[in-house]
Structure 1
């Protein structure tokens, strides 16, 4: 267990950019399901993810290509039950932006209840390119 003071944030390295975790939520990905199949569940989740991606251009969905292929290939294995969303921010900003502000990136993935979401997040974001995925947020927004 990592102990932190209440005023500290967890830091993560996203490529060469240091970022801080601002929010991490874990939800039951099958909440509200009464019946269905793994294939149907993947298709519904993929439709929801596609809708979320359209509304949130700075969202990175880990293994999205695999999720799409599994939905097309009729994989009959259930997705891990937990859907995890993390929001990271950094003081890094593109050189061509003169205004004050920060950049942020949201990350989503699926995992089992036994996995450590913080360790999983570190593994996911380490190879990412913050500059191409994050969006600039000016102060006051």
Structure 2
């Protein structure tokens, strides 16, 4: 479920935590590609996601297991053209942290142009476990 607050931020239920959408970008995932195959495209995306997740453990890639299976199975169907990236924050913080701050989670997925990214984000994040996926960000002075 998604709700819009008076300040324009959209709220999302992520497991047991309420989070707010801070940023959502939709881009053409094949922009600038001159040649290639669906299999190669998936391999490059998978390598990029794995590198990004190693650098930022608070990144959740929707359907990552399916993307891995598609690469192994050499699926020759193109990924949906739109790549979507969302950044959510919450005032929830882990109990063991005494500092002031917030937690955040980045989510990325592929979709078709016909899909509403805000509604699709709600279905993606609803079952996620925010405490195990989100990272703590201390407030800066």
Q: TM-score range by the shorter chain?
A: over 0.9
CA distance in 1, matches of 2:22, 2:5: 15
Coordinate RMSD, CA, aligned: 1.7
CA distance in 2, matches of 1:60, 1:5: 25
Match of 2:119 in 1: 119
CA-CA distance at 1:6 after TM superposition: 7.0
Count residues with an aligned counterpart: 140
C-alpha separation between the residues in 2 aligned to 1:56 and 1:25? Answer: 18
Deviations for 1:11-42, whole angstroms, at most 9, x for unmatched residues?
Answer: 00000100000000011111111111111111
Aligned to 2:106: 106
- Structure 1 residues 10-29: aligned runs within 5 Å: 10-29=10-29
Query: Take 2:75 and 2:39, find their aligned partners in 1: how far apart are those partners?
Result: 6
Distance 2:33 2:72 in 1: 21
Alignment of structure 1 residues 7-46 onto 2, 5 Å: 7-46=7-46
Using the size of structure 2 for normalisation, the TM-score is 0.94
| CA deviation map 1:38-93 (0-9, x unaligned) | 11111111111111112211000000000011011100100000010000000000
**Distance in structure 1 (CA, Å) of the matches to 2:6 and 2:16:** 26
Gaps of 5+ in 1: none
Q: TM-score if structure 1 supplies the norm length?
A: 0.94
Instruction: After the TM superposition, list the runs of 4 or more consecutive aligned residues in structure 1 that deviate by more than 2 angstroms.
Output: 4-8
